Every structure is written in C-alpha cells, then in structure tokens.
Amino acid sequence: MNKRWVIKELPEKTQIELLSQAININSYLAAILIQRGTADFESARNYFRPSLKELHNPFLMKGMEKAVTRLKKAIDSKEKILIYGDYDVDGTTSVALVYSYLSKFYPHCEVYVPDRYAEGYGISLAGVEYAEQQNFTLVIALDCGIKSSELVDLATLKGIDFIICDHHLPGDDIPNAVAVLDPKQETCDYPYSELSGCGLGFKFMQGFAQKHRFEHELYEYLDLVAVSIASDIVPITGENRILTYFGLRQLNENPRPGLKALKEISGIKGDLDVSGIVFTLGPRINAAGRVAHARGAVELLVSQTEEEANSLAERLNLKNEIRKQFDSDITVEALAMIESNEILRSAKSTVLFKNTWHKGVIGIVAARCVEKYYRPTVILTESNNKITGSARSVSGFDLYSAILECSDLLEKFGGHKYAAGLTLDATNLELFQQKFEQVVSSTITEAMLTPVVEIDMPIYFDVITPKFVNILKQMAPFGPGNPRPLFEASNVYVFNSLSSFKDKHVRFLAKQSNNENVFQVVGFDMAEHYDSLARGDDFKMAFTIEENTFNGSTSVQLRIKDIKFS
C-alpha cells in the first residue's frame, strides 16, 4: 500500500536557537521538542524530568468532592461496596487498582465484571440485580456507565447508589448518579481530559487518599495505570505521560505478582515500554474476556503470591493462544469477503457481518481490515439475538460522529473518534450498511484514505551521535501524542551484509552518499524490497532510531517505517 509522506513544518529558526542554547541540545532535537509543545526551559525540564508533584489536584474534577464524601460515608457505615468494571484491559486494570487499594483497609468490597456475551458492554441489568441480591448499597463503576442512565435510575429505586468513573464521550443524558467523574463532560473544568479509565480510578482514589489516608500509598499501583494507558491507546501527553513514566518504572523494577508472572510467560527479558505492553501484556489480559470471562484477568492482577500469579498467568496465556486462532481465522474470512465482492472492494467503508464470528475478537479483526484496506470498518456478529459489532477508523476520520448519524438504526453505541461499539436489530442490518457507507462517502477525503507517514524532519547520518541517541531515549515514554521521532534520510544505499530473515524482514548495513557513517538497518515486513536493495538502488527511508542489544552488546539500529526507491 502506497503511503503519503508528510514532513512536519519546522518552527522558527530563532525559537529553535533559543531552546537549543537553553537546554544544550542540537537544533534538530530542539525543533522536535518545539513541535511537541516544549518550547522553553521550564517545559523542557517537566518533559525530561516528569514528577508526580505535577499531577493535577483531583478535586478540580467535577463530582470528585461528592464521590469522595460518598465513599467515606460507605466506609464509615460499613456498607457493602461493589467495584464494577468493563471486561477489557482498561476496565480490568481499573477494577484491580480500586479493589486492591480499598481492600487493604476495608474488607466489605467485592468485584463485578460483566460477561461480554451474556451482558454486553457497560452497566447491565444482571449487574444491578446482583448488587440488590447481595445487599450492595454503593457501586463504583469504572471505565463504563456514562451512558447507563436508565439502569442507574433503576438502581436508585432499589436503594443502590452509583459513582461513575468513565472516560468515554458522554451523550446528552448524564446519569443521575451520586457522582459522575468524566473529564469529557462539557461542564467539567479538569485540566486534562485524556485519562484512561484506570487513570480516572487512580484520580478518584487519589482524592480519597488526600482527604482520609496517604497519597503515596497509591503509587504502588501505577504499573496497572501504565498498562491501561498503553493498551487503551490514549495520548502519552500531560498527566498520562507522568503516570506512564512512573508506571513503567514500577512495572520494570517491582511489578505486582500478576504482571510479573505475565511478563515471564510472555518471554520478556529486558524492560518493557509502551509498545511492549501493547503487543505482549495487553492481548493476554484482554484474552480473558474475549474467549471466557474477564474475571480471570482481575484475579491475576489482584493476586498476592507468585505461586497463585504463575498459575493464573498460564491460564491467561492459554486463552490468548485460543484468541489468536479465532483472530487469524476470522481475519482471513473477512478479507476474502472484501476481495471477492467488487462493490465492497471499491467502497469507502467496510461493514461485514457473519453470525458465527466470535464476538470477542471482532474488534481485532476490524483493526486488521483497516491495516489492509485503510478505511473505516465495522465488523458485526450475532449475540443474544441481536447484531453487535466493533468499529475502527483511519487517521483524521471521526468514526463516532459517523455512527452517531446512523443512530436511528442502532439500539446502543458508544466509543471514541477512532474506535466504537454498537448493537442493532437484524432488520436494520442492510439499512445500516447502506447509511454508514453513505455517511462515510460524503465526509471522508481521499487524503484520509491514504495512510500517512508523519516525519519529524530530514537528517543526515552524521547527526546520529551517541549524545543525540541518548537524548532521544530520554524523550520516552513514546506513544500516541508523543511518538518516537521519525526521520527521513535520502541517497541511502546498502553498504554490506544484506539478508532476509523469516521470509518477511530485511537487515543490512547502510550508508548515505557523501557520509562516512554506517548503521545497521532493519525493515520488518519489507522482504518485498529485497531485490531492489540487492541491486544497490538508491532510496530514501523514513526511520526511527533505536538501540539493539544482542549477546550483551548494544548498538544503534535504524528501523525502517517506509521506503521509496529513486
């Protein structure tokens, strides 16, 4: 698939020079920092040296005072508290954090995670009935609930109070709960709106700790927050960046038993970064709720001993192997459906349905279809006599708004700009397919339908010095909102040692014309370019700079993200 390279506009030369001198770095790095909103000494210090002291006051969030007061009342009165969370990574880490913290000093709390298949996303009727039957009078809803007004009203009639901690976009109708913590509410003035669900749970507990206990007690749970931030693909900016920075430190130096066991069974040798979580820990935690019940993930995350954690991690890993098989089989089937249908091939969107597809992996399949055809995609299956599905988008296209325009055909929907879930009646399937295509076709641009490679700037190989690489490393953690810097180099050629491995990837030593520096280069999924590279053709490449450790030796490695031949 051809990709469109876009080189970011450079800041003003004077601005670059001032920052370069202020913090003693070269102009290339200064320009990248300014592009990311770090333009003076003070902001650079906060960027390179994150501090937990820079976390915002939790009581700036609308509803926090009411939430903390109600939780304290429940504890003082020895009420039963139900900690209710979604079944994905963000939800299960949220539940694990709040339960682990509260249960250390309050015994009357319990966990509830809805069944993906029997109950679906969000607050369920079964969950409210369980709370009533077991005499819970307070429910803390994490990573869900912002669109559950009717069920919150029902719970209120039964004498059950709700505190909702949700980071999803609210609808017009905000639930009439005791407190609603959601920085995306229009009437909330909290300084940062991109917290994960687990991050929001952390802020709630931080508010409680500031008033009634000790805030530092919460810092041992930051490994859970980092896992949620990485897995939920929220921006690594502002408060999220601070939480991720210290969460990764906890995860790599002293993780809780469940995460330690999961790291070991994933075969992780060195330190984990955001990308490592996304590809190793996240899928295994998610697998519990995809192929069975997510309670298994929570049990692992709250486990107290290594023995218990190792046993639970093995079970989760097995579920992940099952999930991968489902994922692979359905992806092959979905791509074949598109390829064999001329109308689907030429459409601006993809909407596919098959009643036997496994509900637990359709979100992954939607993402795979976007990788292949690069357009807004909805994958649907049948569950509880309804059609339910997951949607994924492309850069720049507001998927949530497109689904909102089809809301007259839907029974339930929710999500973000780039990912959403929906439920509809079978009688509306064809109408939805038609209307979604119509909405997408009328609003998406050709530029949005072409993958973008966003390049920070062109550089020469001689810029890549040990000091340069060392400062790049300090710009981590990388992720959405703070991606690993991406560079362009022109007039590059294979100098030596070209090889292909696993029939998919290439590795070689590269030089740049009029430059003496030689670097190891790796290109994953780029074996198709082997013949052109072997001919010695000049090329330009978009690449990131990494360190590669092999047999105890560490060296600089350039990783190709895209390549264009002369």
Q: What mean pLDDT value characterizes the chain?
A: 95
For the segment 382-401, what is each residue's pLDDT rounded down to a tens digit?
988 899 999 999 999 999 99
Torsion sign, CA atoms 457, 460, 464, 467: negative
Higher pLDDT, 550 or 523: 523
**Average pLDDT, stretch 88-109?**
97
| Model pLDDT for residues 30-63, shown as the tens digit of each residue | 999 999 999 999 999 999 999 999 999 999 999 9
Q: What is the pLDDT of residue 416?
A: 78
pLDDT of residue 117: 81
List the beta bridge partners of residue 520.
Answer: 509, 557
User: Using the 8-state DSSP alphabet, how is residue 281 labeled?
Assistant: I
Residues with Cβ within 8 Å of 113's Cβ and at least 6 positions away in sequence, in order, are 84, 85, 86, 87, 91, 92, 95, 289, 293, 294, 295, 298
Torsion of CA 305, 306, 309, 313, to 10 degrees: 180
Ranges of each domain in the chain: 4-8+453-565, 58-317, 341-443
501 contacts 477 by C-beta, under 8 angstroms: no
pLDDT-wise least confident of 12-16, 92-96, 143-147, 167-171: 167-171
Say how far apart CA 389 and CA 384 lie, in whole Å.
12
- pLDDT of 363 reads 92
Mean pLDDT score, 87-105: 97
Residue 376 · residue 435 · CB < 8 Å: no
Contact 141, 128 (CB under 8 A): no
The encoded tokens of residue 508 equal 């070689």
pLDDT in tens, 221-274: 999 999 999 999 899 999 999 999 999 999 999 999 999 999 999 999 889 999
Instruction: Classify the phi-psi angles of 92: left when phi > 0, otherwise alpha if psi is within -120 to 50, otherwise beta.
Output: alpha
pLDDT at 118: 85
- For 556, the enclosing helix (H) or strand (E) is strand 553-565
Q: What is the mean pLDDT of the segment spanning 100-111?
A: 98
Whole-prediction pTM: 0.92
**What pLDDT shows up at residue 552?**
78
Q: What is d(CA 399, CA 415) in angstroms, rounded to the nearest whole number?
A: 9
pLDDT digits (tens, 9 = 90+) for 266-305: 999 889 999 999 999 999 999 998 888 889 999 999 999 9
Phi, psi of 227 (to 5 degrees): -65, -40
Topology (CATH) of 4-8+453-565 = OB fold (Dihydrolipoamide Acetyltransferase, E2P) (2.40.50)
Rounded (10°) angle between helices 89-103 and 197-212: 20
Long-range contacts of the stretch 125-128 (C-beta < 8 A, 24+): 125/151, 125/154, 127/84, 127/151, 128/154, 128/155, 128/158, 128/160
Q: Residues 6 or more apart from 387 whose CB is under 8 A from it?
A: 353, 380, 381, 423, 424, 425, 426, 429
Q: Is the pLDDT of residue 1 over 80?
A: no
User: Hunting for tokens 């890549």 — which residue is that?
Assistant: 464
Sheet with 109-112: strands ordered across: 109-112, 81-85, 138-142, 161-165, 179-181
CATH top class, domain 58-317: alpha beta
Q: Give the CATH class of 341-443.
A: alpha beta
Enter the tokens of residue 103.
């249960």
For residue 70, what pLDDT is reported? 98
What is the tens place of the pLDDT at every residue in 340-376?
999 999 999 999 999 999 998 999 999 999 999 999 9
Q: Which residue has the higher pLDDT, 418 or 194?
A: 194
Task: Tell me if residue 305 falls in helix, strand or coil.
Answer: coil
What pLDDT is recorded for position 347?
A: 96
What's the pLDDT score for residue 275?
A: 94
Residue-wise pLDDT tens digits, 121-142:
789 999 999 999 999 999 999 9
Q: Name the token pair of 172.
A: 């017009």
Per-residue DSSP letter, 170:
P
Q: Which of 1-5, 61-65, 197-201, 347-351 has the lowest mean pLDDT?
A: 1-5
Give the span between the Cα atoms of 262 and 339, in whole angstroms: 38
| Structure confidence at residue 418 as a pLDDT band (50, 70, 90) | confident
* pLDDT band, very low/low/confident/very high, at 566 (cuts 50, 70, 90): confident
In the chain, % of residues over pLDDT 90: 89
Least confident of 111-120, 318-327, 449-458, 467-476: 111-120
pLDDT in tens, 366-381: 999 999 999 999 999 9
**Which of 78, 86, 218, 217 is closest to 140 using CA atoms?**
86
- Look at residue 239 and give its three-state secondary structure: helix
What pLDDT, on a 0 to 100 scale, did the predictor assign at position 293?
86
Residue 121 has a pLDDT of 79
Burial class of residue 263 (count of CB atoms within 10 Å of its CB; 0-12, 13-18, 19+): buried
What token pair was written down for 426? 């079978």
